[in-house]
Structure 1
């Protein structure tokens, strides 16, 4: 026993060594071979791009490190294959490949298989999904966005007892579907059939199929109101989405009451009967109800839906409801999210049941006809309120925990209240498109601020030091105001700044070199100001890469991790709310959605959400910039739009611009640029808009290839010495013009800059004189010859003057 106790740990060590060496040697050889066979069967329909590391020649290559493959960290067996969206990347125009089950059977430990978005039309004979019964650990199967028809249901004849999640959404299923077709899935918990053409879900009396089903998606099909009779066959169902169907018809309380375990019901985009809200009260477990855009009208009923005591979220938006809110709403004491926007509700919200909803976290009232009274003190007990869409005034300064404030596109007037300086945790501020005036308070210096939108107002004064040393600021949008002064030097301290928009103000002075310190900048707009001086060479230090910050989205208010106040488009009859002084601790913060308007391709586009991760550009147009375009700007390899038009820039177009391979819009028009257009620019194959019009360029236009074959005369006009297609032929060019083009519409002076001429003349004269003196000093022979030549010239001149003077004197005496 003592010996056994001493060496008991040896088996443990051997097991660990076994699995450790397994991990060192990588994936199993039979699975590596199976992956290569799978690649060979698919690559005919896609291309090698999808399998860059699936190398058959490299015997040492570990298939667990291959893309689209995940292995168990202990056994090194393949447990996940993500082969989705393969066909969409290929150059093939035909359909996807045919499914072959035998290619997947070697992966005996496979738990997750994703073949979605591949346009798979079917399978090879005898190689359908019936053979998957050997994959005893498969839990998730994604087959959505393919072309499978109803025969796939018969293919599931074998029992796949381990499967918990099946996606067949957006295929070619149609007609009637029998619940019995899913008898192979004894443990299925989630089933997604949305986006097909199914019109009936047939159940049988003795069917026990899908007894564990908890999530069912039947949205975007052709179901009618009778679908509720079928789904009652699933006793464990908790989440049901039957939105975007034609659900018109009557509902019985018996059908609705049978869904006594249902917690979430989504009917969005369906046409349902108004009686539904009267009868839905029998679904006593319901926590989430969404009837958004369901063509409901009239007044909200005073019974039925008000009896849902467990209801936490309800969306009634985008309908035609009218009248006042029923008093029975006060019964919904668990309600956290309420969206009443885009209806025709009326009445004074202070006298409505809304102040009684003490658990409310999100409240949307926009686009209604509510009366906003002078005092809203009755709302102060909503201490859990996180989102309120309405118009809010200066007393917001009392909400010290406010994190996001959005009051865009209203008719707000007056200055930004200094009381708001007490909102020390504010991270997102949007007051854009109002009539705000005055200066931006310098005390508005929340260190948490990420995004500031004050654009399209009447704000004046200099850019305040409120944002100085704020390393969290990502977006600063002050465009379309009346700001004056210079860009402050502390702008370089905003290390996280990604979007800086100062367009259409009255800013002046030089563009500061401190802008070059903004390594995360991806959109810079300084156009329509009065900036002067040269373009800083160091702007090339700005990498102009997309921000890694991305907006976060969830489902129907799912994952609401923070709070906000939003109030766009609220119709009001009274906006004097100065008496509201809430006492609760309002915690406000929500996931932000950055947005920016930027001029590119001769138009102003609005970019928001994920697209900002791809749009990078710089706009310095309509200023008073002089000097040459720095060649270093050609190092901004990721830039997509550059606008330097309407300045007084001189010199040539840098040949380094040919490095801007992703450039889509380049505007250098209305300057004084000279020289030839670099032929290398034709290498920019993404270029859609190109203009060098109204400059002093000469020579021939670039070869009409790639995108340059699409540019017409307007891209080159106003350059008298420029020729070639699409302008006039170079053999017909006339004598050079001697007049500059004044971009204000008048002719300028001659081509000779007199200041430059005088300086050049003096320099040349002194250089020649000094050169002559040096030569005569060094070479005595030339010195003697030179002075002899001078002596002869002097003698000849003397004789000429004396002789002709005497003749002239004698002529006058005569």
Structure 2
């Protein structure tokens, strides 16, 4: 009699008499509690009752007193109730016929076994699944049931090792389930005396040791599950040589070990397996496939993922096992061809041979007749070549087709999705990472069930058809790294289910489409030629739980619309905003500070001006998803059938290099990159409030003022780059307390004073982190802050050949100043060009200036050092530019960008705006390069000329004094370079550094010469 789900309670439901002959009674799924004991007393009068089901109620521990009058009761189900704590089962002592007792899913922590409990000697099945039993009295109450045949203790709180009690007393035990606990260590020796075991489940614990030899005693074993432990398992399987009933082996997640060579010989087993799952790790580069498999003919499921099995692909596995349903040989080391079997396994549902070295042509011919029920075909990460066979369109049950990362070529067959295609259930089509070409067939978007489409990293051309609107079920779309062009269809922004979009690294132009009616989580449109943003790009995500994690518009040509975009992003929960390498101008919008969920902000390589918004320091820039739940659910989805697609990656410059962060790293990453802009003013002290930020890059701007002392609060920062600005003052000594720094640079500023204490993480950085700051001293710089301890100056490698303090000075620095001083401002460009060309021989000479304490200088003509080419001229000039930019100009009271030097001033501006002269100097002939620079020189403003005059007047006295000492020297035209040098004030050593990028090979910091030239 069944009253299941009648919603009975103590107020109703028992207003009738129970039939005295009742044998089966089910009261499950009601609201019964202990208040109905009076009614249960009536149940205790049912002397013939054999099966009583009280599961899914609210019954407590004192229920047993109402059940003693059931002498014939064989099965009692109290699962899913409120039994809790230590349960005294002596109240069941009168149930002498009881064979099945089920306490599943209660809150029991222990069983109390008293003398009367021994009357339960006929108990066959005891189920304590999903309780809170800790095992403190396990052996005490376990021996009370000597006749038990089935014992389930899974999903409890057992910890520690299994005691070596006399497990052999459980001679009748046939099924033992210890899975889902926290057992550790090795199995006790007496454990293997339970010789009647048919089913043994040890999965998901922390057992260790070689399980192979001990399993030999379980000769009756049919089912063995030890997955999710740290067992060692011999690959030979010889421990099962006497087993005749073995059918199921589940060993995923353990370590496969190699037996001795003698045990690897072919042997014929007595058993026929149905399931063999050994997805494991191995400490060997490769191991042989066990030979006993040659004699297995009933296999339905085989999984050797990650076992590094060597040799030719075992096509015989399919030939011998016509009942095969799932063949998973992922990430083994098989080579050779994958061949279709001559005896079709008609029930084959899954073939996964990815991550091997399989070669040859793609499967073709009659694949649909051999695998008519194939659901999942994964042959990715191999070396399969040829074209995609058109026969695939006849696999009517296929849901996942993954041929990515092979060597496939040609075009996508039109019939794959056209008329006659039977791929009506295809859910994922993954063809990325091949050499496929041609246009993307428009009928590909007629696969109405498609959820994931990956065509990335191929050679596709043409446009995306607006027929993409037909793919209304599309969740993930990736076409990155192709040669697609034209505008992105607006229909892409109308795909209601779309969550992952990657169209990066193509040639798309026009505007970014609007996504106002959908709620994607990841959008990658970087590295295209997009030039504008749509109005109202995003709607308010107030319905869906998943935020917009990533918006990547980096490396495009977008110049406006950022204010409207940020306004649209306010309610999206955005975490990563990547706008690097565009043409944005103006101030950084303060509305950015309303994006309170941001973890990464990259606005580098733009043309932003003005000050850094101080409100950025009021944001968190920390990840509030430490377990990655939001990332994994939003990116992979909780209902994905194939989560290999759409592995989220972000590119972000951290630690002075472009890093690619995957999901497992993204959940810990946070950072701000505002480098390579034109930002000015001081660094807001509020940025020191970003205590959880990992990377902060403000380099290559025009920032002034001091390094904020509040930066000592950036306790989680790993990369801090403030280089190539105009910061001044002392570096805050508190920065020595930043313990996680891996990258630190304040190079090429105007900082002064002592460096922070050289300890902790700061002691791991060399002088390159501080170079280009003339007035800095202290470790790791060679300049001591105590003049009496000043170390001798050392020169860059290769410049000091004879032990003297020889300094290389390039004539390119001297020539423009000399020209500007001797030629009136209004002279024609032609005259200047003629003059410069007449000095060509001197321009490409390098002088060796030997500086002595008496200010005497000896010059030597080293014409052979440089050839007369634009390349070497420009490379040498770079050394001059950085010396000019970083040196103090107190004599003219002028900043480096207004310095009264001719050529290098012009080129600094060219560098600043990234002109053709700077970006492509190697493509410009020498004469044309000179002409272009001289044209710039004629247009030098009044301020530069006035500063030049001030400088020259100050130099005049030095020049006259020097000329007296050098009067005896020959005044030939060939020595005009010496005269040019006489007009210049050489204050610093010159080093070869790229003027618009961070220096790659930097020598010691600039050291003043002993005196004037």
Quickly name the TM-score band, shorter chain normalised: 0.5 to 0.7
How far the C-alpha of 1:211 sits from its partner, in A, is 6.0
TM-aligned CA distance change 1:176 to 1:512, over 3 Å:
same
How far the C-alpha of 1:288 sits from its partner, in A, is 1.0
Gaps of 5+ in 2: 1-14, 19-35, 45-58, 65-81, 88-105, 114-131, 137-151, 168-175, 791-881, 896-1013
**C-alpha contact 1:156 1:182 (8 A) present in aligned 2:** yes
> Could you tell me how far apart the structure 2 residues matched to 1:327 and 1:431 are?
27
Aligned residues: 652
TM-aligned CA distance change 1:387 to 1:596, over 3 Å:
closer
TM-aligned CA distance change 1:686 to 1:137, over 3 Å:
farther
How far the C-alpha of 1:559 sits from its partner, in A, is 6.2
> Could you tell me how far apart the structure 2 residues matched to 1:157 and 1:368 are?
51
- Residue 659 in structure 1 maps to residue 750 in structure 2: no
RMSD over equivalenced CA pairs, Å: 4.9
**C-alpha contact 2:86 2:112 (8 A) present in aligned 1:** no
**C-alpha contact 1:492 1:514 (8 A) present in aligned 2:** no
TM-aligned CA distance change 1:529 to 1:202, over 3 Å:
same
Q: Summarize deviations over 1:446-493 as a string: whole Å, max 9, x none.
A: 331222211111222357431254564221111112222353451561
- Residue 629 in structure 1 maps to residue 629 in structure 2: no
> Could you tell me how far apart the structure 2 residues matched to 1:525 and 1:462 are?
17
- Residue 222 in structure 1 maps to residue 287 in structure 2: yes
TM-aligned CA distance change 1:599 to 1:189, over 3 Å:
same
TM-aligned CA distance change 1:427 to 1:321, over 3 Å:
closer
Correspondence 1:239-278 to 2 at 5 A:
239-241=302-304, 244-248=308-312, 256=318, 258-268=320-330, 269-271=332-334, 274=337, 277-278=339-340
> Could you tell me how far apart the structure 1 residues matched to 2:336 and 2:451 are?
32
Q: Summarize deviations over 1:340-373 as a string: whole Å, max 9, x none.
A: 3423454771267985232333333445566647
**C-alpha contact 1:194 1:219 (8 A) present in aligned 2:** yes
How far the C-alpha of 1:332 sits from its partner, in A, is 2.8
Q: Summarize deviations over 1:42-101 as a string: whole Å, max 9, x none.
A: xxxxxxxxxxxxxxxxxxxx99799xxxxxxxxx999445989xxxxxxxxxxxxxx774
Q: Secondary structure at the match of 2:83?
A: helix
> Could you tell me how far apart the structure 2 residues matched to 1:369 and 1:677 are?
53
Q: Which has the higher contact order (CA 8 A, sep 6+)?
A: 1
Q: Secondary structure at the match of 1:598?
A: strand
Correspondence 1:732-743 to 2 at 5 A:
732=787
TM-aligned CA distance change 1:137 to 1:196, over 3 Å:
closer
Q: Summarize deviations over 1:682-726 as a string: whole Å, max 9, x none.
A: 121111111122333332111111111122122222333321112
Correspondence 1:524-539 to 2 at 5 A:
524-539=601-616
- Residue 180 in structure 1 maps to residue 243 in structure 2: no
| Structure 2 equivalent of residue 481 of structure 1 | 556
| Structure 2 equivalent of residue 167 of structure 1 | 227
- Residue 411 in structure 1 maps to residue 458 in structure 2: no
How far the C-alpha of 1:434 sits from its partner, in A, is 1.3
Determine which of 258, 262, 279 is the counterpart of 1:197.
258
- Residue 722 in structure 1 maps to residue 776 in structure 2: yes
TM-aligned CA distance change 1:132 to 1:273, over 3 Å:
same
How far the C-alpha of 1:257 sits from its partner, in A, is 5.3
TM-aligned CA distance change 1:707 to 1:238, over 3 Å:
same
> Could you tell me how far apart the structure 2 residues matched to 1:265 and 1:259 are?
11
> Could you tell me how far apart the structure 2 residues matched to 1:592 and 1:670 are?
38
How far the C-alpha of 1:672 sits from its partner, in A, is 3.3
How far the C-alpha of 1:537 sits from its partner, in A, is 2.7
TM-aligned CA distance change 1:169 to 1:295, over 3 Å:
farther
| Structure 2 equivalent of residue 363 of structure 1 | 429
How far the C-alpha of 1:21 sits from its partner, in A, is 5.5
**C-alpha contact 2:349 2:373 (8 A) present in aligned 1:** yes
| Structure 2 equivalent of residue 595 of structure 1 | 649
Q: Secondary structure at the match of 2:687?
A: helix
How far the C-alpha of 1:611 sits from its partner, in A, is 1.0
How far the C-alpha of 1:506 sits from its partner, in A, is 2.0
> Could you tell me how far apart the structure 2 residues matched to 1:295 and 1:284 are?
23
> Could you tell me how far apart the structure 2 residues matched to 1:175 and 1:6 are?
58
Q: Secondary structure at the match of 1:279?
A: coil
TM (norm. structure 1) is: 0.67
> Could you tell me how far apart the structure 2 residues matched to 1:271 and 1:561 are?
26
Gaps of 5+ in 1: 32-61, 67-75, 85-98, 564-589, 736-740, 755-814
| Structure 1 equivalent of residue 593 of structure 2 | 516
Determine which of 191, 194, 202 is the counterpart of 1:140.
202
> Could you tell me how far apart the structure 1 residues matched to 2:716 and 2:450 are?
46
| Structure 2 equivalent of residue 8 of structure 1 | 39
> Could you tell me how far apart the structure 2 residues matched to 1:750 and 1:145 are?
78
- Residue 207 in structure 1 maps to residue 262 in structure 2: no
| Structure 1 equivalent of residue 632 of structure 2 | 551
Determine which of 180, 187, 196 is the counterpart of 1:112.
180
| Structure 2 equivalent of residue 287 of structure 1 | 349
TM-aligned CA distance change 1:9 to 1:643, over 3 Å:
same
**C-alpha contact 2:269 2:295 (8 A) present in aligned 1:** no
